[in-house]
Structure formats: structure tokens, C-alpha cells
Amino acid sequence: MSEESHGHDESYYIKTWLLLVVLLIISVLGPELEIKIVTFVTAFGIAVVKAALVANRFMHLNIERKYITSLLITGIAAMLIFFFGVAPDVMRHSGTNWEHVSAQEWVEHGMAVGEASGGHHGEATHGDDGHGDEAGHGDEAEHGHDAEHGEGEAEATH
């Protein structure tokens, strides 16, 4: 039994739950409007708000020692460091003096197939067929490890 008595009666938690459900409904309906910024705010912005409600009110972070919240935020900060340190290489497919050719081709191919078949994508055509041959040189060239070998066949980018 924790020594701090929260002094909340059940209605506090039930009201929080109702608020969460309302937010959920908004986040499902928002994308129906098909306006990108609305979708973004309702989907992710609301997710953050719901998370804060669950963390503060259900997990009682709001009355917990402050350094516990700092600890959890540090975890999130570590993930942000990870994301922003890695995204320049993984999220983008080109940069200063490099091109990730196989990824670029994959995106092109995927977009073409997707648009052509009107959105029905992801069937057995993916993953096992001849796309491997196309990107054959992409495997080791630009994004590969051996800088020396890569140079010879790499497409000079700048």
C-alpha cells in the first residue's frame, strides 16, 4: 500500500476515462476530413495528450517525485537523440556525396505500382521477384562499407 492517499474518488478516474474516449473518437474522425494538418494534429497531437492523461492521472505521475518524470523524459530524450542521429542516413536516401540508389529505386517502383494499381499494393509481387536484379549494384555501391571498392563503380553525385 502506498503511503500517499490520493484522495480521489472513483468519479475522477471515470471522468478521465470519458475524456480519453472522447479524444479517441476525435482522433478517428479527424482523418476523415482528409486535411493533412488536421490528421496530424488529431492523430499524433491527441496521442500525446492521451498519453499525458494516462501518465499523470492513472500512473499518478502528477503526485510522484519529480525526478521520476525527469527519468522517463530522459528515456524519451535518448530516443530523440537516436532518431535525429540516424534519420539523416536512414530516412533520407541521398545527402552530401552519397545516394542510396537501391532505396530510391525501391521507392520509385513502389510508387509506380501503387498508383497504377489504384492503391492495391503489397501482394506477392513484392520481396521475392526480379527487383533484386535491378538493384543489383545498389547493394554494395553507394551505401556500402567498402569505400575503396565503391568508388570505382559509384555514380559521382556532385
Partner 1 sequence: MTSQTESSVETHAGDHHHEEGFVKKYLWSTDHKMIAKQYLFTGMAMAVIGGWMAYVFRMQLAFPGEAVPGYGLVSSAEYNSMVTNHGTIMIFWVAMPVLIAAFGNYLIPLMIGCDDMVFPRINRLSYQVFLLSAIVLIFSLFVQGGGFGGAWTSYPPLSSESQFNLQPLAPSLWVIAVALEFVAFLLGGINFIVTLMNSRAPGMKMYDIPMVIWMIVLASIIFMASVGPLIAGAIMLVFDQLLGTSFFDPGNGGDPVLWQHLFWFFGHPEVYVVLLPALGIVAEIMPVFSRKKLFAYKTVLYTAIATGIISFFVWAHHQFISGIDPRMANVFTVTTLIISVPIAEMMFVFIATLWGGSIKLTVPMLWALSFVAEFMLGGVTGIYLGASGADIYFHDTYFVLAHFHYTFFPIAIIGTFAAVTYWYPKIFGRMMNATLGKIHFWGTIVAFNFIFIPLFMLGAAGQHRRIYSYELFPELAELQDLRVFATKAMIVMLAFQSVFIFNFFKSMFWGEKAPMNPWRSSTLEWTVPSPPPHGNFAVLPTVYRGPYEYSHPDREEDFWPQDEAPITNG
Partner 2 sequence: MSRPIATTRSATGIPTGRLALWWIVFSEIVIFGGLLGSYIMHRIGHPEWAYDAIHTNTMAGAVNTFVLLTSSLMAVLAHQAAERGDGKRAAKFLYWTVLGAVAFLVIKGFEWHHEIVDLGYVLTTSGFWSFYYIAAGLHGVHVIGGAIIMLFVAHDAKKGKELQRVEYIGIYWHFVDLVWIFLFPLLYIAK
- Which C-beta is closer to partner 2: that of 82 or that of 157? 82
Which region, left, alpha or beta, applies to residue 44 given φ > 0 means left and ψ of -120 to 50 means alpha?
A: alpha
Residue span 132-151 as binding mask against partner 1, x where in contact by CB under 8 A, dash where not: x--xx-xx--xxxx-x--x-
Does the footprint of partner 2 cover residue 21 (CB under 8 A)? yes
Question: CA angle, corner 17, sides to 14 and 23, nearest 5?
Answer: 145
Q: Which of 11, 34, 96, 120 binds partner 1 (CB under 8 A)?
A: 96
Q: Please state, in angstroms and as integers, the Cα–Cα distance from residue 108 to each residue in 18, 102, 105, 111, 114, following that order.
A: 44, 10, 5, 5, 10
* Contact (Cβ atoms closer than 8 angstroms) between residue 110 and residue 121: yes
Work out which of 32, 89, 151, 155 binds partner 1, going by CB under 8 A.
Answer: 89
Contacts of 94 (CB under 8 A, 6+ apart): 100, 104, 157
CA 30, CA 13: separation in Å to the nearest integer?
26
Taking CB under 8 A as the criterion, the residue among 62, 70, 74, 157 binding partner 1 is 74
Could you list the residues that contact partner 2 (CB under 8 A)? Answer: 1-3, 5-6, 8, 10, 13-14, 16-17, 20-21, 24, 27-28, 31, 39, 43-44, 46-47, 50-51, 54-55, 57-59, 64-65, 68, 71-72, 74-76, 78-79, 82-83, 86-87, 90-93, 103, 106-107, 109-111, 113-114, 119-124, 126-127
